[in-house]
Structures are given as C-alpha cells and as structure tokens.
C-alpha cells in the first residue's frame, strides 16, 4: 500500500517551509526511518523520514517549492507495487516498438527494454537518455534491481572503449567527456541537488549570478528591517582592557581543559559579566508587549553564530546557574550544531539578551542590531594591542571595543552606559565574577 509523505508539524508559529533538497530520487529504495527530504524553515532545517520501507514512487513537490504543514510531498510504495508499474511500462514500450517495426523503422536504443530485469524509474530514464542497453548493466542490488548507481557505474567503466549500447557520440567520447556526463546525471538527480544549484542563474557573459535567497536569509532580512522600523535603537560604546582575563586564561587554560575537557575561552567571562550587569539593570533583560514592559528574572543568553545559510542565535538557558566550564561546553556544542545545521527549534526559541562576537572575523568596531523582541545586544570585537594611559604612564594593553545596542523606548541612555561600564568592570577585574556570583 502506497504511503504519502507529508510535511510534519514544524514547531511553534511555523506554518510553512521550503524544500531545500531531496535526499532520494524517484525509484530509489528507502528504509523505514531514512531521511527522504530536507525542509528549510526560517529557523532550522527539518528532515522528513520514511515511515515505512519501500520505493520512492513519486516526487510531487520540487526543490524550492513552498509547502505547508500537512501537504503531500511524495509517495512511498512497496516494492511489488513498483514492479507492477515496471511491467505495465514495459508492455507499453514493447507495443510502441512493434508499431514502429511494422513501419519499417529501426527501434531506437532508447526503447530497449530488458524484461528479465527490474529497473528503477530513474535508472531507466538515464539509460534511455544515454542509449544504454540495460541488459549490459550489472546490478549490485541484493534483489537484482538495476539502480541509478549501476547505470552510472556502467558509464564510468565503459568510458575508454566503445560500447554497443552507447550512441555514436558517446562511443567517441573521451574519458573526461564521460565523467562529465556522469557528473551531469548527478546534477540532474533531485537527490543530489541543493537549492542554490537548482535556482542559480548566470548571464551569458558570466559576470553576474542570480541566486534565490534562502528562506532563512529572507526571514533574517525581514526581521532586521522590522527591528529598525519599530524599535528606537541606539548604540553606546566603551573599551575594555582584556589583560586580566588573558592572564587568567594563560595561567589556568591547561588545568581547566584537563579537568573539564573544554577550553577556557572569553565567552564564559562575558556571559558571567553580562548576567551580573543584567541583575543590576533589569530593563536590559526585558521586552515590550503592547503597552506593557515584561521584566524577566531569568537569564537565557543568546549567542550569535555565523552559519552558511545566515546568522542563527542558539540560546544558553539559565546562564546564571552555570559554571564557567558548563558555559564553555554548551556554547561550543551549540556552535557546532549550528555549523552542521542540526539545531532544534527549542534551542533557538526564547532568549532574553544576546551576545555577538564580530571579533572572531576581525571586526574592530560595529553596531549590532537588536534580536527582537529583546531590548539589548552586546557586540564584542577583536582584541588589539594599543597604547593606553595607566596611572599617568603610557603602556601597551590588549584592548577590545564593546558596543551595546538597546531599545530606547524602555532603556534610558544612563542605564545603557552604566550597564556597559558594569560589564567593563567585571572583565577588567574577573575575580569579582566569582565573589559576586
């Protein structure tokens, strides 16, 4: 019995998605629980898996299509259903072949059918297109079924000599030409296509590229513009001497990693400092809903991570209750999952304040944009040795510029400046982070 592949529930407030890539092609065998298609939402990518084993009979929605929850993407059928379809198709082809023979026309190679072999629809299409005699193709499937991979393997193995089943043009092709043909097949196969490959266009001169924005990139753009339109966003700056933190890291990094299995970085210091500053200035840990200001006495800190499809902000829950080691470990894990596109919706939802570190890319100074509905975001930047005056003496210190963007509707300039000064004090005297919790 055929089973429809439907768009699953995507999470709170998400009603539609874009088909990012089909991981299987029509005619491919699938196993229960195996991923068939990847959907792209504005927050995460979601894989849709097969609910039963069988064969992907039909793909109804193509890469780049917008689909809604519950919509049918394709159909998975049992092997015997597919075999019946092959038999019917074979009969039709043989009938057409006989009709052409009566007219004195030679049956083209693309019409050849081996009735003794079971062939996947995709393999048959490729064989017909490249004039391959299926009877010459060896199956490596446990059930003797000829698959796309078998046909492509046949093409590669017969690239350096003439093959009866190939057209004249293909017989005269070089090894490189056939490899190019194989690569073309792979690109045509929806199971190997990415969204950018499908929707990429170039002009005749190759001087421009037109690439469809991903769903996530479109959402990021909409939200950033919306924040700038609705929030009274302002940024204040300060600089912090990183010498004390760097000295602690140098002195403790080996024992810290040996004990906790994770490196001691800057993020744990800044997270702790921000939590302390938020406790002193709670309006930076709030949001606006209508005519109300909601003050939050929990500290879920978002950490901005640059991923291939755009910036994502996974959330470090209850940061005030975590140790330095727990903070470093969890941030490293979230960043890894972000780069591998494995974050869940739960790991992205919520957040009361955000940290973004442009310094890892070499940024000296920038103005971060709020992550709505939050009213505060701290921007870290690169550490640079600069001459500064300490106790009347010019000395060289490792300095970092800090930027705090805030929503002026509920955060006054005085609060914002004092918040940033408090963060500066904690970083320049990191022992206070331990003494004040």
What are the Cα distances from residue 216, in Å, to 118, 220, 310, 330? 41, 6, 7, 24
- H/E element, 129: helix 121-129
Structure tokens given for 63: 């890469």
CA atoms of 381 and 398, how far apart (whole Å): 12
Helix (H/G/I), strand (E/B), else coil: 230: helix
Structure tokens given for 185: 């097949």
Q: Do 59 and 79 meet the contact criterion of CB atoms below 8 Å apart? A: no
Sign for the CA dihedral angle at 276, 234, 421, 240 comes to positive
Nearest CA-CA partner of 126 in 185, 170, 183, 79: 185
Structure tokens given for 75: 């159909």
CA atoms of 352 and 173, how far apart (whole Å): 62
Helix (H/G/I), strand (E/B), else coil: 202: strand
User: In angstroms, how far is the first alpha carbon of the chain from the final one?
Assistant: 61
Residue 269 sits at the vertex; the CA angle it makes with 265 and 275, to the nearest 5 degrees, is 140
- H/E element, 326: helix 324-339
Long-range contacts, stretch 102-105, CB < 8 angstroms, 24+ apart: none
Helix (H/G/I), strand (E/B), else coil: 289: strand
Q: What is the CA radius of gyration of the chain?
A: 30
Q: Choose, from 140, 318, 408, 429, the residue flagged as catalytic.
A: 408
CA atoms of 228 and 237, how far apart (whole Å): 19
408 is catalytic: yes
Angle between helices 324-339 and 267-280 (to 10 degrees): 110
Angle between helices 148-157 and 175-188 (to 10 degrees): 170
CA atoms of 238 and 379, how far apart (whole Å): 11
What are the Cα distances from residue 183, in Å, to 190, 224, 258? 13, 39, 47
Active site residues: 408, 412
């Amino acid at each position: 019995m055929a089973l429809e592949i439907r768009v699953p529930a995507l999470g709170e407030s998400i009603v539609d998605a874009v088909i990012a890539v089909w991981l299987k092609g029509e005619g491919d065998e699938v196993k229960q629980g195996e991923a068939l298609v990847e959907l792209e939402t504005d927050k995460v990518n979601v894989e849709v898996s097969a609910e039963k084993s069988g064969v992907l009979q039909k793909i109804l929605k193509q890469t780049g299509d917008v689909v809604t929850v519950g919509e049918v993407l394709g159909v998975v059928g049992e092997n015997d259903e597919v075999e019946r379809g092959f038999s019917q198709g074979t009969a039709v082809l043989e009938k057409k072949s006989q009709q052409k023979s009566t007219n004195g026309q030679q049956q083209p190679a693309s019409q050849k059918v081996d009735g003794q072999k079971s062939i996947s629809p995709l393999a048959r299409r490729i064989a017909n297109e490249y004039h391959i005699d299926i009877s010459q193709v060896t199956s490596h499937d446990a059930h003797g079924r000829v698959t796309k991979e078998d046909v492509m393997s046949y093409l590669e193995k017969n690239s350096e000599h003439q093959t009866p089943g190939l057209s004249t043009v293909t017989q005269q092709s070089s090894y490189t030409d056939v490899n190019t043909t194989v690569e073309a097949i792979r690109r045509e196969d929806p199971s190997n296509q990415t969204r950018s490959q499908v929707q990429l266009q170039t002009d005749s001169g190759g001087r421009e590229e037109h690439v469809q924005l991903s769903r996530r990139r479109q959402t990021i753009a909409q939200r950033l513009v919306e924040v700038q339109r609705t929030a009274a966003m302002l940024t204040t700056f300060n600089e912090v001497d990183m010498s004390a933190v760097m000295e602690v890291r140098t002195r403790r990094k080996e024992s810290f990693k040996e004990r906790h299995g994770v490196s001691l970085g800057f993020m744990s210091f800044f997270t702790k400092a921000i939590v302390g500053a938020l406790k002193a200035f709670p309006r930076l840990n709030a949001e606006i809903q209508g005519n109300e200001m909601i003050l939050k006495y929990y500290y879920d800190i978002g950490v901005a991570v640059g991923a291939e499809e755009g910036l994502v902000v996974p959330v470090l829950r209850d940061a005030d209750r975590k140790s330095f080691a727990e903070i470093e470990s969890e941030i490293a894990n979230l960043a890894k999952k972000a780069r591998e596109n494995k974050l869940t919706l739960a790991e992205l939802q919520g957040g009361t304040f955000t940290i973004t570190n442009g310094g890892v890319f070499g940024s000296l100074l920038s103005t971060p944009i709020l992550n709505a509905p939050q009213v505060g975001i701290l921007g870290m930047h690169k550490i640079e040795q600069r001459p500064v005056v300490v106790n009347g003496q010019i000395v060289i210190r490792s300095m970092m510029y800090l930027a705090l963007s805030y929503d002026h509707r509920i955060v006054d300039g005085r609060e914002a400046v004092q918040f940033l000064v408090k963060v500066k004090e904690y970083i320049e005297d990191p022992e206070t982070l331990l003494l004040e919790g």
